[in-house]
Amino acid sequence: MKVLVAVKRVIDYNVKIRVKPDHSDVDLTNVKMAMNPFCEIAVEEAVRLKEKGVASEVVAVTIGPKAAQEQLRTALALGADRAIHIETDDKVESLTAAKLLKRVVDDEQPGLTILGKQSIDTDNNQTGQMLAALAGMGQGTFASEVQVEGDDVQVTREIDGGLQTVALKLPAVITTDLRLNEPRYAKLPDIMKAKKKPIDVKSPEDMGVAVASSLSVLKVESPAERQGGTKVASVDELVDKLKNEAKVIA
């Protein structure tokens, strides 16, 4: 079974973002970029499926500018066999990303497609679900455990209040949650080897998908800053303030 894993280049999660002075967007000039953390978990899961002998080949795919090949090289160093780069400098919304990935799924016919549950830039949490809809597949979102059994995959999902397990008919789409696994670090020899692994570059036009969106961002602002308050010296003072000043406890 082939496993397709989608990765996205985003701002490094340790970077504190700044809004541009003209409020058109977040300022990404000279900012450290990295693979989206949830995508790292997706790559790790795909590689583990290969190590267990469940997957025969792991194909990584990304949509983004030329520089996004860095993230594909990371995926290759972590254990993906080859990669597909859908190159575009345009902003790609979730629905367009799902349409492009659907074309890749049509070509590659993976048994499982694994994506991160959300990217930490737009925080949409949509692409996996949209891809599953377009491909007519079942979806196991927010996965904390994945087990392939025969023609099914059992996915344990992190839901509000606990865990839910569903069985999906293969082929299926999975999105990763935090506890699915702990991604490994790429070793130097693997990073060297990854440089020789093939990356197939395509354009959205090649794939017959127009990069368009019905959404327009009118402005981006910083959220209202919360002002810090006072320090209290003792538990007694804290309880007194909560009762008599903030009036949030009786």
Partner 1 sequence: MSILVIAEHHHGQLADSTAHVVAAAQAIGGDIDILVAGENIAGVAESAAKLAGVGKVRVADDGVYAHQLAEPMAELIAGLADDYSHVLAAASTQGKNVMPRVAALKDVAALSEVIGVESPDTFLRPIYAGNAIATVQSSDALKVLTVRTTAFDAVETTGSAETEAVTAEVDNTLSRFVGEELASSDRPELGSARVVVSGGRGMGNGENFKLLDGIADKLGAAIGASRAAVDAGFVPNDMQVGQTGKIVAPELYIAVGISGAIQHLAGMKDAKVIVAINKDEEAPIFQVADYGLVGDLFEVLPELESKL
69 or 96: whose CB is closer to partner 1? 96
Question: Hey, which residues between 33 and 92 contact partner 1 (CB under 8 A)?
Answer: none
Query: According to CB under 8 A, which one of 124, 190, 197, 207 is a site residue for partner 1?
Result: 124
* Span interacting with partner 1, options 41-49, 65-73, 76-84, 170-178, rule CB under 8 A: 170-178
Q: Among positive and negative, which fits the CA dihedral 156, 157, 163, 169?
A: negative
164 touches partner 1 by CB under 8 A? yes
Question: Hey, which residues between 208 and 247 contact partner 1 (CB under 8 A)?
Answer: 213-223, 226, 228-232, 234-236, 238-239, 241-242, 246
50 or 102: whose CB is closer to partner 1? 102
For residue 198, the minimal CB distance to partner 1 (Å) is: 30
* Span interacting with partner 1, options 44-52, 65-73, 138-146, 196-204, rule CB under 8 A: 138-146
Return the closest-CA partner of residue 205 out of 101, 87, 50, 121. Answer: 87
* Token pair belonging to 85: 């780069």
207 touches partner 1 by CB under 8 A? no
Alpha carbon 4 to chain centroid, angstroms: 13
Q: Dihedral of the CA atoms 20, 7, 118, 165 (nearest 10)?
A: -170
Query: According to CB under 8 A, which one of 56, 109, 165, 203 is a site residue for partner 1?
Result: 165
Q: How many residues bind partner 1 (CB under 8 A)?
A: 78
Query: According to CB under 8 A, which one of 90, 103, 120, 186 is a site residue for partner 1?
Result: 120
110 touches partner 1 by CB under 8 A? no
Return the closest-CA partner of residue 68 out of 87, 95, 46. Answer: 87
Question: What does the DSSP 8-state code read for residue 245?
Answer: I
Please give the Cα distance from 127 to 84 (Å, whole number).
17
66 or 169: whose CB is closer to partner 1? 169
Return the closest-CA partner of residue 81 out of 107, 53, 46. Answer: 46
* Span interacting with partner 1, options 1-9, 57-65, 80-88, 113-121, rule CB under 8 A: 113-121
What does DSSP say about strands 33-35 and 172-176: parallel, antiparallel, or unpaired? unpaired
For residue 82, the minimal CB distance to partner 1 (Å) is: 27
144 touches partner 1 by CB under 8 A? yes
121 or 190: whose CB is closer to partner 1? 121
Q: Is 29 exposed, middle or buried (0-12, 13-18, 19+ CB in 10 A)?
A: exposed
Q: Report the half-sphere exposure of 183 (CA within 13 A, side-chain side).
A: 23
81 or 158: whose CB is closer to partner 1? 158
For residue 3, the minimal CB distance to partner 1 (Å) is: 19
Using DSSP, state whether 244 is helix, strand or coil: helix
For the beta carbon of residue 178, count every other beta carbon within 10 angstroms: 13
